[in-house]
Structure 1
Amino acid sequence: MLCSASPSATRLLFFKRNLNFGFVSASFSFLLTEHLSTGFENTLLVSSLNKPLPLLSRPIIKTRVSRPVLLFSSRADHTMASNSKTGSVYDFTVKDARGNDVDLSIYKGKVLLIVNVASQCGLTDSNYTELSQLYEKYKNQGLEILAFPCNQFGAQEPGNNEQILEFACTRFKAEYPIFDKVEVNGDNAAPLYKYLKSSKGGLFGDSIKWNFSKFLVDKKGNVVERYAPTTTPLSFEKDVKKYLEVA
């Protein structure tokens, strides 16, 4: 028996629901029993992965659903990287500082260091200086640095793209690409940054904490390391060499 309650107090429901497991999106069909006399209640569904998942929406009427039974999975497919942790950095297109689209798949086979930069931060001098030093040392061995200006932390990147380019390229001789100013936290965060954060959370949660947070990406487009704003680029040179596979 599906449920021990009396027939007058229950009815059977059959419906489909799309669920996202983080790695796979799937459409499932469920057979449920519904108790008609109780109030709202958060309910757990049991997936084919044998893990409890929260019901995505409560019943329309005041009910309690008990003992869900998964009948079958009708469809399963991989989701894009912008929606989950699957995929890679190569799935994204971003804009450079001049407004041109850049498909990040052009960096396939490279090791990437992705960093949110600012021009008026107390960490600016040390980070920009060491980013240039690191790039000069390893650019011919497969390292690319992708810098994304962001004004979300202390309003320390107030300039427009032209001013940011002038600052980075003139004062710090930055030869690596500077991209369009983006947001890295919140609802308007760039899709790339949503992916980076979901792939590699920080010590106190996924959110970017300040200017010059850094993500290291291997040659296959996977996020492999994350470094705090106060961690200077040359301090993790050994990791860069590891993923570049150089002595």
Structure 2
Amino acid sequence: MKLEISASLNYRLSEPVDLMLQIEAAVGHGQQVVESSLDLGNPEFVSRVPAVDGLCEPIWLRASGTLRAEYRAAVVVDRPAVDFRTLPEVALHRLPSAVVPYLNESRYCPSNKFHAFVERRFGEHEGGSKIARMRDWIESRFTYLPGTSDADTGALDSFVERRGVCRDYAHVMIALARAAHIPARMASVYALGVDPQDFHAIVEVYLDGGWYMVDATGMARPEGTARICVGRDAADVAFLTAYRAIELVEQRVSVKELVDA
């Protein structure tokens, strides 16, 4: 599937601000960026940060007055259709070193607090079957409601309140998976079917020797999803991190299927 992606950011800066931007679709890993452009206006400073896990390549910026970023890309997604529900988990002692950090608690995902619930609710299942039941449980019991969470909301808050947006669903999914000793990480993505359309957050779980996409909101499908970057939770994958206060003026994201003539 070929996706036409665009993202437009416009922020007002009352003073010089250092920012980290992560809005470019990743190269490889089941997707090919065949065309792209990024216009950052005239910041005082621009520098790319080396890729993390072969996926993320953030951009450091320092800007004054305004931040304007315009990104356009055509991405071909060629990700095999795999039913993760049938996949086995990997024994802990056989996990690759690069995967091990995604077993542990992180800022927004205090997975150790979910052990008892996971054992009680999902203990009779294993591997992909367990992940599938966690995903289905979240989607059926949570209400997707913008404006009910903020930058401080973590998985435990969302678990109690049973509402939030994609990042909140993802944090709970990650916490449950890690509590079951299955590595899980957050991926920021562009995806068809997201309503309202915006930067989207999903989960990737490590099963049978590979990472597989899981969206607890039920909106995104792997074949219509383009990764931006991955990390332990939202702190690692935010599309924009500002190290002083900034003001949103306008932000737009568009993801469409592109059919060649």
Higher Rg of the two aligned structures: 1
Give the TM-score, by structure 2 length. 0.25
Q: Using CA pairs under 8 Å that are at least 6 residues apart, name the structure with larger relative contact order, 1 or 2.
A: 2
Give the TM-score, by structure 1 length. 0.26
Give 1 or 2: higher strand fraction: 2
